[in-house]
Amino acid sequence: MRPGTLNHPFSPSFYISLTLQLLVLLPSHYHYPSQWHNIHNAHYEVYAAQEEQEEEEEEDTRILQNNNNNNNNLFCTHDDVPSSTSTTSSSTKVINQVLSYLDDHKRSIQNTILQSYTDHHENVTRPSTQYLYDDFRASLEWMARVGVDRPNDTVMGGGGKWNFYMGPDNCDNDGWHIGLANVAAFLGQSMTMVILNDTCDELNWEMIFPNPNSKDPDGFYPLSNACGQSGVSYTKSSPNSCPASEEMYQCDVDPYMKITAASKTTFEGDAPPPLECSPRTADQTVTGHYDPAPNNPDIGGRIVNEEGNVIPSQLGRTDVEGCCWWGRGALHTRGVCNLGKLNYYLGAGAAKEGRDGGARYPDIDFCTNPEAICADATRTMEMRWTVALFEWTERIQSHDDGIMGWNYIEEVTKFAMEGDLISSVQFSLLQGEPSHFIDEVGGVLEQGCPFPPCDTERPQRLRWKSRRKRNFITAVEGVGLPVKSELFRETEEHFNDPLIRANFEDVLLLSKSPVDGKVYQSYRYHFTDFMESLRKMADVGFGDNFFYIGQGMEGTLGENSGLLNIAMFLSYAIEMSILDDACDEHNTQLVNGRFPVSNACGMYGASYQDIVCGAGAEDAGKECPLDINQSFSAVTRTLDHRAPQPFKCAPKSQYPVTGFWDEAHLEENHKTAFTNQIGRIDVEGCCWWGRGVLRKVTQGRCFFGQLNYYIGKRAAMEGRPSIYPKIDFCSFPEAICASEHSNELRWVSGMFYWIKQVQSFDNKDGWNYIEKIKELSTAIISGGELDRSLLMSVDCILKTGSVDCDSAEDLTDRLNEVLTLITGFTLPTQSPTTTMSPSASPTDFPTVIPTDVPTSLPTSTIPPSASPNIFWWPSRQDVDLIIKIIEEKRAPIESDLLTPRVEIDDENLYSLDGFLSALKVLADGTVQGLYFYVGHGTFTNYNHRKRGLVNVAAFLAHSKTEAIHNSICDERNVDGIEGKFPLSNSCGQHGVIYQNLRCTPDEAFMECPPDPGLQMSAVAALTSSDGAVADPNGPPAFFCGPRMYFPFTGYYDGESKTIRNDEPFSNRAGRTDVQSCCWWGRGAAQVKGVCMYGKLNYYIGARAKEEGRRSLFPSVDVSSSFFGLILLHGFSDRKLTPLPNLHFQFCQNPQAICSGQYSYSLMWVTGMFSWVEVVQSHPEYSVNLDKIADGDMGYEEFIDAISDILGSSDDDKIERRSNFKLAVDAIGLA
């Protein structure tokens, strides 16, 4: 048990009573469907003994009564703000609400807030090792429930408790939202101060430049930075030293104290040593500095402590005497005042004066041993949170500045309850501009007042201002506080109406196959992604630009004009991308009867790399620089194996000339140059094709440069707010279609273009788009018609930047359909007309505008020749529901399906958590064009839900048959010949040669190429072929290697239990060597053969990354020892060369599935991928799923049909049948 928690038994009646109370107290108006669905399953940990229950109820009554009295309300209060001098205790009910809600968001908190950078570049994060959720949760609960006694003194106020504020108990039952905002504010500051660097002790981070005006100044880290950094002394400057009225709490500075920090940077490379303090001596009067030696990497960093070479800190210190007060813990609590208060209230000072209620650490004197915060052997992990929460409660939460009119509790209440949360986080990053709530909190924490600079003698700007804001947003979203404006909430509520949402998902998001004309639910465009993208662009936006949903308009007019704008956008999204299920622009222009590969440079007369931002316009010069060395491939192409390959760009050194798509041979022909319409015969610098939901107009360096400037990496680098601060749209424009954010970016990129090109249109003749749709929405409400001429003008604006063009497309019918589906009423339309008055184009658009792309050719997509998937695409809600159902069946699934047939000492290879993680990835469409089926419309259609669960059960039964039952990852050598097991069985067993398991001709380009030099060894099995614990002297694990090392292979003699390598011994297929025999079965489904490993590499491995597609496992470095392999198999006398480290590829290192960094994921992921390719794609499988869901097929007949698809042996068929029955029972399908 964690410190501060109790575990007392309660009677069943108490739990029933508590559950009923909680059900009554749930918010009736607050929209958290995912959190509050099936709330009767929620559980709350109870931390007080039953005999304390009456006391807690009395406290709750007292607090509620206090709230009522404050507001003259006979029953309860709508808004209660305790003053800084009153108690900030919250009722047990409110504390339970906050803690339960945080527990529900534990995974989100871990994955977003409790993350640390892996290096100084701050590009990649990993889970923090120093700050863990359970420690935070235990400390937070202690500070909220128990807290710290405040003595009756004249300085700190008249008694009571220091408690972390979880919000008031009020009529609307939403007071706990204030507590959640308080938690988010704390965690956001903690992220900034410590979590992202993953250290407990403050780091030596401030560099001094003795010669700042030199051409290439050298910077150094004074070791005396321990005394204070950023010009702040930890013993003299406020708030690190106490004011005169609080000097009684302050620690005495002991010049003889000697401490070295327990933690230092976790980043790789040279860094200053940990901070330390020690007295000056006659021999050492100065402490020197750390020289990182950036210009001398061979030397590396070093400490310099030489006479005449002294570099003082910014404070002027050159020693560390009495400088033991650097920051420690989750807020870097520092200074003689704060550490003194810590000792007075929580440490030895409290115990010494008999204040046992607050002495959480009575044995620790924080004035003589402040390092205990980071170095206490048993308590440091929770202590670093507790001291920070105490400082927050004592200094931040209680801050009440009557002169400046700033009270923290009032401000956090205002933030959580009154303001539009996200719009109030539209931070300005410039000094002197209006501050935001979180700026003011940072000011109190850092400098002691809400409006820095607070020290008029040595004024300092607030450190890391923009970082605090970004981290605050992360914390707010991580804990689940609704970061939405009121207007967006209304819009969201409208679209979440069951009928409208069903229309959106089941009609608007349909794609059409170009091969057979069948429609299916889009793989790439989902309702939830649209809504999240709309939130970001409507509420967050960029600069002063937002996607219009009715902002600035009151009532119905605003709502309807906003819906009209959304409908207009969706109409073009459907026509340009959703119908084709495409993200990248496709090669659609024929030139002399062929499709030039150089169409990537531009089609229909446009040169995409020459589309730059117009001179003199607002965005002049914002286009991406032209980089001729860029090289990557598009993700999507037309979903027809006869269609041209996806666009690519590459330097001439890679493709000196480019040819055309050869439809006869289904390949690109680069033997002779073939020009596109504008004369290009190469693809150098041609990376600017259209992408996203408006891919037919989003071409050119201007568009991608604008994206980067306003919402990408350039914005972040230049200190402006950025929605995607780590994405450089100039160096990798394919991020829209092939990055971790591509689900959103497909929509966001289109909305960005719509804002810049359409919404902002306002020409000199008075044609203003926003005013036009306001007028049109008013006319519609009054029974008017859709104005076709207006809509054709919008089409021209979108495609040319002018209201007049030669080839406007009439989308009136499409818009009418969309409006009908998202509003519920049908609109009359005018008779067709194309009359338009000419108008000048604005000047802030690109100087070259691509013409509209004809739509005569089909443009549906999916990577080349993917196996057909005839199931409907599941929504994220479908996936979450199936995962929830499986989670509820954890116990029987683990015991009946994931437990090996024999007990082994090691942890099971196949865990339910690993399965669920892989399921979420494979079912959610992360792999382009392929998904593991879990059903669709599962919330309302039981048969569809059953189809998905049956598919899961069948896969688990197959996995148990193939691997789980025997606890293996690598295939075992089981095909003996008269008691002799050929070592060449790694090439194939039972007469099959695995390297001959080839792809069909149309998929042959995905195969792994033969490589006779590959060499690797399998992982030894934990069980034998009969299910017993593996015999350490049994057949050795499979291995492969070239004939130069293994001219021949022998066999394992089952009788003598020895390896015999004296002469060749062939397997059933005649192989007597193991060259190119690395394709044995691996993972949950025992993936085998050069075709399947090639597909894995193509879709989720290194090849996907290299060709610019999204990859689940793009670049994992692995290494293996060929020497160990040689010794294991009895070839110790052979001459060897070391095996180099292999870049992760399924073709170069298929063994990574079983013995790499990501093995526990890959075992499941590769199995599901194989299941999709082999089973789900089989034409009979969907029919059988329908039959079993409708009761027209029995379970045994169904699983036998799968065994027939897999070509299983009779024994495997019988075992799979038995395992399927177990799976059906465990999941609850029986």
Q: Which helix (H) or strand (E) holds 1128?
A: helix 1122-1128
Note the pLDDT of residue 351. Answer: 86
Q: Which residues contact 582 (CB under 8 A, 6 or more apart)?
A: 524, 636, 638, 695, 859, 860, 861
- Which one, of 736, 870, 828, lies nearest residue 1178 by Cα? 870
The more confidently predicted of residues 62 and 348 is: 348
DSSP state letters, 465-487: HHHHHHHHHHHHHHTT-----HH
Of 155-164, 294-303, 1097-1106, minimum mean pLDDT range: 294-303
Q: What is the mean pLDDT of the chain?
A: 79
| pLDDT per position as a tens digit, 529-558 | 999 899 889 987 888 899 999 887 655 555
Note the pLDDT of residue 591. Answer: 93
Give the confidence band of 58 by pLDDT, cuts at 50, 70, 90: very low
Check if the beta carbon of residue 264 is closer than 8 Å to that of residue 198: no
Cα separation, 692 vs 751, whole angstroms: 10
Of 41-45, 243-247, 378-382, 883-887, minimum mean pLDDT range: 41-45
Give the confidence band of 1099 by pLDDT, cuts at 50, 70, 90: confident
Note the pLDDT of residue 239. Answer: 78
Q: Percent of the chain scored above 70 by pLDDT?
A: 78
Note the pLDDT of residue 478. Answer: 82
Give the confidence band of 261 by pLDDT, cuts at 50, 70, 90: very high
The three-state secondary structure class of 420 is: coil
Cross-strand bridge partners of residue 591: 594
- Contacts by 29-34, CB closer than 8 A, 24 or more apart: 29/172, 30/174, 31/489, 31/492, 31/493, 31/496, 32/480, 32/482, 33/496, 34/880
Note the pLDDT of residue 607. Answer: 96
Mean pLDDT to the nearest integer, 816-823: 90
| pLDDT per position as a tens digit, 829-872 | 444 433 333 333 333 334 433 333 333 222 323 333 333 333 45
| pLDDT at 741 > cutoff 90 | no
| pLDDT at 381 > cutoff 60 | yes
Cα separation, 969 vs 1019, whole angstroms: 8
Structure token digits, residue 506: 């089941």
The more confidently predicted of residues 26 and 1037 is: 1037
Note the pLDDT of residue 1136. Answer: 31
CA quadruple 189, 191, 194, 197: dihedral, nearest 10: -150
Give the confidence band of 913 by pLDDT, cuts at 50, 70, 90: confident
Q: Which residues contact 324 (CB under 8 A, 6 or more apart)?
A: 226, 254, 257, 259, 277, 370, 371
Give the confidence band of 1114 by pLDDT, cuts at 50, 70, 90: low
Note the pLDDT of residue 945. Answer: 86
Q: What is the CA radius of gyration of the chain?
A: 34
Burial call 221-242: b when 16+ CB within 10 Å, e when fewer:
bbbbbbbbbeebbbbebbbbbb
| pLDDT at 153 > cutoff 90 | no
Cα separation, 637 vs 740, whole angstroms: 20
- Work out whether strand 1117-1118 and strand 1142-1143 pair parallel, antiparallel, or are unpaired: antiparallel
Mean pLDDT to the nearest integer, 997-1017: 84
| pLDDT at 1128 > cutoff 80 | no
Note the pLDDT of residue 1031. Answer: 56
Cross-strand bridge partners of residue 504: none
Structure token digits, residue 878: 């479908």
Cross-strand bridge partners of residue 328: 201, 333
| pLDDT per position as a tens digit, 320-350 | 999 999 999 999 999 999 999 999 999 999 8
Note the pLDDT of residue 1028. Answer: 46
Note the pLDDT of residue 874. Answer: 58
Whether the bond between 12 and the residue before it is cis, its omega within 30 degrees of 0, is: no
The more confidently predicted of residues 599 and 41 is: 599
| pLDDT at 698 > cutoff 90 | yes
Note the pLDDT of residue 263. Answer: 81
Q: Which residues contact 194 (CB under 8 A, 6 or more apart)?
A: 130, 131, 200, 327, 329, 330, 331, 332
Structure token digits, residue 372: 């205990």
Mean pLDDT to the nearest integer, 995-1024: 80
| pLDDT at 723 > cutoff 70 | yes
Cα separation, 790 vs 564, whole angstroms: 13
Cα separation, 716 vs 676, whole angstroms: 38
| pLDDT per position as a tens digit, 870-879 | 345 556 778 8
| pLDDT per position as a tens digit, 221-236 | 999 999 999 888 999 8
Of 479-493, 497-511, 629-643, minimum mean pLDDT range: 479-493
| pLDDT at 18 > cutoff 50 | no
| pLDDT at 886 > cutoff 90 | yes
Question: Hey, what amino acid is at 757?
Answer: Q
Note the pLDDT of residue 938. Answer: 64
Cα–Cα distances in angstroms (integers) from residue 1038 to residues 982, 1019, 1091, 1132, in the given order: 10, 8, 20, 17
Give the confidence band of 1021 by pLDDT, cuts at 50, 70, 90: low
Note the pLDDT of residue 610. Answer: 94
The three-state secondary structure class of 1087 is: strand
The more confidently predicted of residues 564 and 84 is: 564
Cα separation, 552 vs 554, whole angstroms: 7
Mean pLDDT to the nearest integer, 514-538: 88
Neighbours of 616 (CB within 10 A): 8
Mean pLDDT to the nearest integer, 104-133: 83
Note the pLDDT of residue 764. Answer: 79
Give the confidence band of 401 by pLDDT, cuts at 50, 70, 90: confident
Cα separation, 46 vs 901, whole angstroms: 39
Mean pLDDT to the nearest integer, 175-194: 92
- Which one, of 135, 141, 147, lies nearest residue 109 by Cα? 135
Question: Hey, what amino acid is at 586?
Answer: H
- Work out whether strand 406-407 and strand 648-649 pair parallel, antiparallel, or are unpaired: unpaired
Q: Which residues contact 581 (CB under 8 A, 6 or more apart)?
A: 511, 522, 523, 524, 525, 636, 639, 860, 861, 862
Q: Please provide residue 1118's backbone torsions phi and psi, each rounded to the nearest 5 degrees.
A: -130, 155
| pLDDT at 1130 > cutoff 70 | no
Mean pLDDT to the nearest integer, 378-394: 94
Mean pLDDT to the nearest integer, 48-69: 42
Give the confidence band of 907 by pLDDT, cuts at 50, 70, 90: low
The more confidently predicted of residues 1000 and 345 is: 345
Cα–Cα distances in angstroms (integers) from residue 827 to residues 309, 563, 816, in the given order: 82, 14, 6
Structure token digits, residue 163: 């408690």
Give the confidence band of 739 by pLDDT, cuts at 50, 70, 90: confident
Note the pLDDT of residue 481. Answer: 77
Give the confidence band of 1027 by pLDDT, cuts at 50, 70, 90: very low
What is the DSSP code (8-state) at residue 534?
A: H
Q: Which helix (H) or strand (E) holds 788?
A: helix 788-800
| pLDDT per position as a tens digit, 1135-1173 | 333 333 333 478 888 988 887 667 888 899 999 999 999
Note the pLDDT of residue 523. Answer: 82
Give the confidence band of 747 by pLDDT, cuts at 50, 70, 90: very high
Mean pLDDT to the nearest integer, 924-943: 74
